[in-house]
């Protein structure tokens, strides 16, 4: 995925009477816009989008018309509105609603699925609903674009299954050779990273197949593997006495906060504490012990 040199996604936040909106364009292929909003009094008139609208409602409910048919969005529903088809939207109650939306271009979902989406735009699928929420969580964290892209790839696959009303052939197939080749590619690009789209081009494989093959072979998603490799490098540099901010830059993290989040998740402490404990342990034992549980070389 893009390295720490990638500029922060442009964002805009606006508040008005009983309304709050945040919108930005992330560095994730196929995502035109991320839109988070809380509305109480506003109602959308009939309008169209050039992109697919993937919508979840976290609080309240939305009623909308699509192709002259009325639809709604209970909490366990994922709504997929196709491009170029007019629709509107309004809160069901006076309490309003809070929603999160992804606008996706046709590289994610093709125009051939528009008809099926018009017929059944509201999908009651708890797993899909959870995955969409996880993508949004990743998208608000700069530096986690590979995670967002990986999750979004599986979401696209599941959406196509719903719209085609049949499983995607070969979606769950194992491919250990492809998994090994992707691992080798990730090992070569630990710092600079890469997108699934790039990996798919280099390895002549669909991104969804890459994610499934890698996860099936190693029990870990590609983005998790890449972050663990970066954290491993960071441990060694911290034990050399380098500052966390500098370590974040040279190991491929977006910034120090990005390093800290993943370091704490995998190691159990912050980079700063890890670095300090290592220096303290070295003075006490003369053998470079970290005083935390990791080895002096930073290996797990």
Rounded to whole angstroms, the Cα distance separating 184 from 241 reads 29
Rounded to whole angstroms, the Cα distance separating 267 from 228 reads 10
Question: What values do phi and psi take at 114, rounded to 5?
Answer: -60, -45
**Is residue 230 within 8 Å of 236, Cβ to Cβ?**
no
pLDDT at 286: 39
Q: Give which of 228, 180, 174, 227 is closest to 203, Cα–Cα.
A: 180
**Is residue 158 within 8 Å of 208, Cβ to Cβ?**
no
**Is residue 45 within 8 Å of 89, Cβ to Cβ?**
no
| Measured distance between the N- and C-terminal CA atoms of the chain, rounded to whole angstroms | 24
For the record, the structure tokens of 245 come out as 């901010």
**Is residue 186 within 8 Å of 226, Cβ to Cβ?**
yes
pLDDT at 11: 40
Q: What residues contact residue 250 under an 8 Å CB cut-off, 6+ apart?
A: 191, 237
CA 166 to the chain's CA centroid: 26
Q: Which residues of the chain have pLDDT under 50?
A: 1-17, 167-171, 280-300
For tokens 């500029």, what's the residue? 7
pLDDT at 131: 94
- Burial-class residue 206 by CB neighbours within 10 Å (0-12, 13-18, 19+): middle
Rounded to whole angstroms, the Cα distance separating 262 from 257 reads 9
Give all strands of the β-sheet with 52-60 in edge-to-edge order: 11-16, 19-24, 31-39, 97-104, 52-60, 77-81, 122-124
Q: Give which of 37, 28, 65 is closest to 148, Cα–Cα.
A: 28
pLDDT at 138: 94
pLDDT at 267: 76
Left, alpha or beta for 208 (phi > 0: left; psi -120 to 50: alpha)?
A: alpha
**Is residue 241 within 8 Å of 279, Cβ to Cβ?**
yes
Q: What residues contact residue 78 under an 8 Å CB cut-off, 6+ apart?
A: 54, 55, 56, 122, 123, 125, 128, 129, 132
Q: What residues contact residue 7 under an 8 Å CB cut-off, 6+ apart?
A: none
What is the value of pTM for the model shown?
0.70
CA 44 to the chain's CA centroid: 28
For the record, the structure tokens of 252 come out as 């491929």
For tokens 């998740």, what's the residue? 265
Instruction: With residue 59 as reference, give the H or E element that holds it.
Output: strand 52-60
């Amino acid at each position: 995925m893009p390295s720490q040199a990638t500029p922060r996604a442009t964002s805009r936040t606006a508040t008005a009477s009983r309304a709050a909106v945040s919108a930005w364009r992330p560095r994730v292929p196929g995502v035109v816009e991320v839109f988070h909003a809380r509305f109480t009094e506003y109602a959308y008139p009939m309008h169209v989008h050039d992109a697919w609208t993937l919508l979840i409602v976290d609080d309240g409910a939305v009623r909308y018309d699509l192709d002259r048919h009325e639809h709604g969005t209970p909490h366990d529903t994922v709504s997929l509105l196709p491009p170029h088809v007019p629709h509107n939207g309004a809160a069901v109650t006076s309490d309003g609603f809070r929603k999160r939306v992804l606008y996706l271009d046709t590289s994610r979902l093709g125009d051939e699925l528009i008809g099926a989406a018009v017929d059944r735009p509201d999908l009651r699928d708890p797993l899909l609903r959870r995955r969409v929420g996880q993508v949004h969580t990743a998208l608000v964290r700069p530096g986690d674009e590979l995670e967002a892209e990986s999750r979004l790839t599986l979401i696209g696959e599941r959406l196509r299954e719903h719209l085609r009303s049949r499983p995607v052939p070969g979606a769950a197939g194992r491919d250990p050779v492809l998994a090994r080749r992707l691992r080798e590619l990730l090992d070569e690009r630990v710092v600079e990273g890469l997108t699934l789209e790039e990996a798919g081009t280099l390895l002549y494989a669909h991104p969804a197949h890459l994610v499934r093959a890698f996860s099936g072979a190693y029990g870990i998603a590609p983005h998790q593997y890449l972050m663990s490799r970066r954290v491993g490098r960071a441990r060694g540099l911290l034990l050399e006495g380098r500052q966390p901010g500098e370590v974040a830059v040279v190991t491929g993290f977006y910034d120090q906060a990005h390093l800290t989040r993943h370091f704490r998740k995998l190691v159990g402490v912050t980079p700063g504490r890890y670095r300090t404990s290592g220096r303290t342990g070295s003075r006490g034992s003369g053998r470079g012990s970290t005083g935390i549980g990791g080895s002096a070389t930073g290996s797990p």
